[in-house]
Amino acid sequence: MTRHEASLDADYFEGMFRGTDDPWDLESSDYEREKYAHTLLALGSRHYELGFEVGCAKGVLTRGLAEHCRALLAIDISETALKAARERCETFDQISFARMAFPDEAPLGSAFDLIILSEVVYYWDDGDIGRAAEWIDTHLAEGGDLLLVHWTGETDYPQGGDEAVAKMRDALDAPLLVVAAERRDRYRLDLWRHAS
């Protein structure tokens, strides 16, 4: 399988979301339901003041994350996905949505005590992983959590799941404690806390 060399762009994701009602079976598969449940369980009973979800897609995980956050900013590169996410999450006043091509476009000023990178880092080339890490270093609050979840099977993305997580960890300068490093048959979950 030939991998993409550069980060996947907005056209790729718009094509996916316009091409089918449920790309990657985010809304319909047992695998996704179990993975989302595991993701939320990893957060435990902790509640966060301000969360930031990169790549919210159609908002399936976003709904669960809202229960853990007083305020949650969810972004995606696809306007089609965001439209569906807004509809799915319309009863949650604490969620705001924005179209951003992270890491080139990112929120300014705020310090987040939860940043979620679920199934996104492997879409980035090495340069974008480095830019994302620079932003995280300055926007993850002390004591805040960085949660990564990634498929570990074969892909044609710029990175594999294990490779993406390792490169992100190497690129981060912030002092991080490993809260969880868990593997399932088809994905891995990593939860790191900014040491205060």
* CATH code of the domain covering residue 155: 3.40.50.150
102 inside domain: yes
- Determine the average pLDDT of the residues in 126-142: 97
Flag whether 5 is in a domain.
no
Q: Select the more confidently predicted residue: 30 or 18.
A: 30
Average pLDDT over residues 34-44: 95
Per-residue pLDDT band for 11 (boundaries 50, 70, 90) equals low
**CA-based max dimension of the chain:** 45
**Domain-located, residue 172:** yes
In a domain, 25, yes or no: yes
Tokens 């439209």 correspond to 83
Q: How confident is the model at residue 15 (pLDDT cuts 50, 70, 90)?
A: low
> In this structure, are residues 110 and 139 in contact, taking their beta carbons and an 8 Å threshold?
yes
pLDDT beyond 60 at 51: yes
Domain that holds residue 106: 10-194
**pTM score of the predicted model:** 0.91
Domain count of the fold of the chain: 1
Residue 1 in domain: no
Q: Please check whether residue 3 lies inside any domain of the structure.
A: no
The bridge status of strand 176-183 relative to strand 187-194 is antiparallel
